Amino acid sequence: MPYLGAIVKETFRRDPPSHFLLSHAVTKETELGGYTIPAGVNVEIYTAWLTEDPEMWENPSEFRPERFLTGDGVDVDITGLRGVKMLPFGAGRRNKFRHITRAFDAGKDGAGVQVDPHCG
């Protein structure tokens, strides 16, 4: 199972569901990277750069699930709450993955999970 988890994480790292966070409005004039961003402007935040940065990931263009089994990738949190190296589901209160997983009442071993098929 750990390798399957590593494959899922590597898939989200290489091909995130969204390359941008939801747009946000700037509440006060801000300078960022030498640019002045006026208050009230909506900005799009490109998060996929995290997954493409060779300073964060060795050989970022390669598909290597093993990176999540050892070394720097072991503790990567895909919810964006800690150790941010990728944000496939956004971050903070708008994090879809966090809300989905909260809906399940399951222990780490899967105890407490009842799956009943629904047909029709």
Q: What pLDDT, on the 0 to 100 scale, is given for residue 87?
A: 60
pLDDT of residue 80: 47
Q: Please give the sequence-ordered ranges of beta strands (E in DSSP) within 22-119, or none if there are none.
A: 24-25, 30-32, 35-37, 42-43
pTM over 0.85: no
Angle subtended at Cα 111 by Cα 105 and Cα 113, rounded to the nearest 5 degrees: 50
Q: What does the DSSP assignment read for 76-96?
A: --TTSSSS-S--BTB-GGG-H
Each residue's pLDDT expressed in tens, for the chain with a length of 120 residues: 778 878 888 888 887 777 666 677 889 999 988 999 999 998 887 777 778 888 888 898 999 888 888 765 555 655 544 555 666 555 555 555 554 555 545 555 555 556 566 665
Q: Spell out the domain ranges in the chain.
A: 2-19+47-102
Backbone angles phi, psi at 66, to 5 degrees: -55, -25
